[in-house]
Every structure is written in C-alpha cells, then in structure tokens.
Structure 1
C-alpha cells in the first residue's frame, strides 16, 4: 500500500489561531499545522510576539494532541526575515515557513505576500537569507531546521509560477505549498489544480496542493488533475474537521461515513461549552465567523443556522440556538 499523504492545516489570519489548531488537531488525520503569519518589517520582534501567535512553541511546537506546528513569517526584507527566523527558532520553532501567498492589500502594499511573486529574484533572496541564517540550527530531535514556503501561482498572472517555485528550490526551501490561484484571483473559484502539477513537475521539492479542496471528491479530482497527493486545507478544514480522516480512510480502503453539518455544529457547541478562558465577546465573534464559513461547504442549511445566530449577543444564546437546531434535525 502506498504511504498515506501528508494533510495539513493552512495558515489563515484571524481564523487558524492556537485554539482552532488545538480543536482541529484533536480530530484524526492532520499531520501538521501552520500558524497565522508573523509580520516582519524593519525590526527584530520580541519573543512575546512569537509566543502570542504560537503558544505551542512552549510545548515543543506541537498542539496538545501532538501535531507539529510550523511557524510562518511574512516579509520582504531578506536581512530582517533572517534575523527574525533566528529569533523564532530560539523561541522554539522547529520549522519556519515563508509566506509568498497572502493576497491582502495591506500586506501587498508593503511588498509582502503574493506581491513578491512579481520578482523571482527577490523571492530567492528572501528565502535564501532565511535558509542560510538557520543553516546550523537543529530541531528537538537534532535534525536540521527546515525552511518551507507557501506561494500562489503569481501576482496577476501565472507567467512566473514556475520561475518562483524554482527560485524557492534554489534557495534551499525544503517543501512547497501551492495555492492554485493568483493574488488577483483571490479566493474566487475555480482553483487551477493543473498548475499545481506543472509546479510539481518543475521542481524536485515535495509539493502540497491547496485551494478549493472542500470534500473527498474535490481532493480526488485534484489528485487526478495535478498528480499531487499531499495537500493543505484552510476554510475546508473548519467546515469539515474530519476531512483529513475521511481522505485517509478512503485511501486505506476503509471508508468512513462522510461528515454531516450536525457533526460540525455539535463540535462547535462542545468547544464553546468547554472554553472557559476566552472572553465571551471574542467567542461570539469567532463562532459567527465559523458559522458563516460553513455556508461555503453546507450551503443553505448552514446559512439558516447563521441567520438565526447572527444577531445574538452572547455565547449562551448561540449555544441554545444551535442546540435547538440539533434537536430539530
């Protein structure tokens, strides 16, 4: 039997925080997670910044369930990236990931994220500086610290997609996630999975597919189109926390029942009831955000739940509302 694919949780700013990583990695199938990006500008950031965005650094860079967490940096200045990568490793980072994919205007305005993809030479210099800065660092097992990267297909076009991937390989990056859209395309469907295959053919790096992988069927189609089996999931992991388990069960010849919306809602209620440390205002905001995200996967059924909860003001009301939905289902 072929080895099972690596399936990972994507770095989503404002969504995939430590609590979300903890909750999702309690479900089986996830091999690693990547943090929200640490924005690197012109200064050496203090350790508290890394520990705030990645508290798992204090526990061998793993979630409570033992899933590795990679720390992501976003920036464009090679020297500053290198300095901050060293700080991150001293804080406990075991893998440093570089963001060449963020499409946010405020990030791109300062030359970071996907905007760097307009210049493969700059991509190379940024990545090489970090690789060189960590060349003699080792992780908790004594192995060299790995530098990985996540990129889109380009800024406005795919013209430089292969050049950027090859620049990252030449810089010494050990693994590459490819989000199958350009910056200009944002998150609008479709994701262009065929380009993931083109990138994988152009480099010798392990490549992970990313973009529009909402279901087992989506994953299977992506593999058929791209030839790439390893994958990273963002919004879809929040919409179906058991998606990785379903994919691996299918590949093992022991398919499991597909997730239902009620399964996700029940997990949501459980997470709210057992979270005694987060401010209620924050829990309400995050839960509404999660409910809205479910609509991309579960359509009108999820929209109906969101509409019932969107004006509620505290966690107790939201829990009661969702519990009523579960009882009526």
Structure 2
C-alpha cells in the first residue's frame, strides 16, 4: 500500500510538507499546483514552490516530492515539465481536479474534465517532453457537473501516457461537500490498467477501512484528513499491518505546531507567518479540542512574539533548524 499527501494549494506548502512527513507513514507528496499559462516555466518558478528540488526532490525526512503542473496548453505544459525534470523532478503530476472558480475560468483544473481529448493531448505532450524514466501521473475529479464522463476521462489520461491516476471521488460542483463517492473509484479502476488511488473524505482509520471496502483501492491520497490529524498516515500504515496505534495526543501535536512556527517565521515575513499558523490550527480543531481553545487565543493576534508564547515557545527555544528537528519526539 502507498499513502500520499495531497497537493492542497495555499495550505500544503514546503513548510507543512516538511513537518507532516516527519511524523511518518507518508510514502510521497506533491507540490501545490504550479500554474502554466502564457509561457513555459523556468527554473526559478519551480524552486519557489518546490525548494525540495535542491535537496534531491525529497523533504528533510526523505519523502519523495512530485512536481504538479496545472494548465491547458499541451505544448507549454510539455516544455515546463521538461524544465522541471532538468531540476531533478522524479515524477511529473498533472492537475485535472482543482475546483477553484478562478482556476476553472482560466481553463485549468477540473473544468478540463469536460474535454477528454484535451486531457489526452496534455498528457501525451508531457510524456513526449520528459525523459522515459520520469513517470507522468494525473489527479482528477469524477467530472465537472456529473460523474458520467469519469471513465472516458480516465481512459484519456491512460492512453496519453499517465502511469497512475488519483481520483478525488467528487465532481467539481460537489466541491468538498460529503459524501465522497468512493464507488466511482472502483469504476475508474475497472476502466484502466494503471494504478488508481482513492482520495476524498478519509478522516480516520475507520474511513479508510470503509473506503477500501467500497472501492477496493489499495492506495490512498490523504488531504484535509491528514492535515487535521497529523499522524493519520502513520495510523493507516500500521492498521494495514494489523497494528492499532493510539491517535497522537495534543501534547505530541503541539511540538509539530512549534516547529511549523519556527520554519514559518524563518521563511515568511511577520505579516504572513501568523496567518499560516492560524490556518493550520483551524484545521486541527477538527481533531483536538485544545486546538479550538488555541485558535480563539490566536484569532486576532498578529504579534509574532506573543504568538510564540501562546504555543509554548520562549526565547530559550533552539533556533537552528537541525537542532529543532532533533529535539522533537513524536
């Protein structure tokens, strides 16, 4: 079984990827989508969203990172994929699932599921432009307004050269409203010969077990569920081996927040770092009552020193990245 960390634009950046992959259980992760619009991308565009490329395309925990592209021009996507490969991208992933209105209006993401022929052209172009040893993969939803074209889309991706498909089991119009239609993952897997990952509404080990019962998918991609429960991948990996792990307690999750804050303040300006921390704490409220209390304390706070104290840090805390990582016991 493979467990992947989903690419969530504006949320799972290199900072959160580093912290979550340190917990364990994640086999690979993906960049936020890198948009290709009116020109092929150059190296700086990749290094901004995927600094791991300078470290062998792995997080500091050693988890491989894939580069995800989003756009609708087959040639520009192909040329951009080639540039990413020159930087060492081990896999090129293509986004056909983003439901954001601004993205869809510019012919990106899930809206392309209305055009299976274009899906095929995009994947084919990327496959032609990239070295044979670099896999091309894709992430899709079930469709734009209806799942009835999902099988045609999956076949178009496979015939274009996609070696793996992640299926978020909702349409674009479904957004993130439950339920995820896991039964359609089984239908997609029956229509193609490449591996298919299940994605959507897996918040717990029990959800993963139900998902597998419904669709039979051996591999999964975790998004909001893993962000809300940082050890979910580790729990699922253990359950696959017949071992039941107790969920991470708040006392174990708090050092992850502290490490995230240190990394965020190292990289981001004081204007933006507080918002990034609040965003993750808000997600953690689903799993931890203590996070709800902390979020209320942080909600209107903008001073970085006061924020540090609220999450249990003081001036004597280590400031070196490697020292911080070694100090965390998970």
CA distance in 2, matches of 1:63, 1:71: 13
CA contact (8 A) 2:16 2:260 kept: no
CA contact (8 A) 1:7 1:29 kept: yes
The residue that corresponds to 2:79 in the other structure is: 83
Q: Please list the CA deviations of residues 271-296 of structure 1 after superposition, one character each: whole Å capped at 9, or x if unmatched.
A: 32466513333221111001111234
3-state SS of paired residue (1:159): helix
CA distance in 1, matches of 2:255, 2:181: 33
3-state SS of paired residue (2:171): coil
The residue that corresponds to 2:219 in the other structure is: 230
The residue that corresponds to 1:96 in the other structure is: 92
CA contact (8 A) 1:208 1:232 kept: yes
The residue that corresponds to 1:109 in the other structure is: 105
CA distance in 2, matches of 1:268, 1:211: 25
User: Does residue 286 of structure 1 match 2:282?
Assistant: no
Q: How does 1:27-176 map to 2 (within 5 A)?
A: 27-134=23-130, 137=131, 144-176=133-165
CA contact (8 A) 1:41 1:75 kept: yes
CA distance in 2, matches of 1:72, 1:275: 22
The residue that corresponds to 2:323 in the other structure is: none
CA contact (8 A) 1:14 1:36 kept: yes
3-state SS of paired residue (1:8): strand
Aligned residues: 312
CA distance in 1, matches of 2:16, 2:263: 13
CA contact (8 A) 1:284 1:313 kept: yes
CA distance in 2, matches of 1:63, 1:253: 28
Long gaps (5+) in structure 2: 314-330
The residue that corresponds to 1:327 in the other structure is: none
CA contact (8 A) 2:169 2:185 kept: yes
CA distance in 2, matches of 1:12, 1:74: 13
User: Does residue 267 of structure 1 match 2:256?
Assistant: yes
Q: Please list the CA deviations of residues 137-176 of structure 1 after superposition, one character each: whole Å capped at 9, or x if unmatched.
A: 15xxxxx110000000000110101110111111110111
What is the CA-CA distance between 1:204 and the residue it aligns to? 0.8
3-state SS of paired residue (2:271): helix
RMSD (Å) for aligned C-alpha atoms:
1.7
Q: Flag as ranges the 4+ runs of structure 1 deviating above 4 A.
A: 273-276
The residue that corresponds to 2:3 in the other structure is: 7
Long gaps (5+) in structure 1: 139-143, 325-329
3-state SS of paired residue (1:280): coil
The residue that corresponds to 1:250 in the other structure is: 239
Q: Please identify, of 148-157 and 251-260, the stretch whose mean Cα deviation from structure 2 is larger.
A: 251-260
The residue that corresponds to 2:203 in the other structure is: 214
* Alpha carbons of structure 1 residues 85 and 270: separation in structure 2 relative to 1, 3 Å: closer
Q: Please identify, of 9-18 and 312-321, the stretch whose mean Cα deviation from structure 2 is larger.
A: 312-321
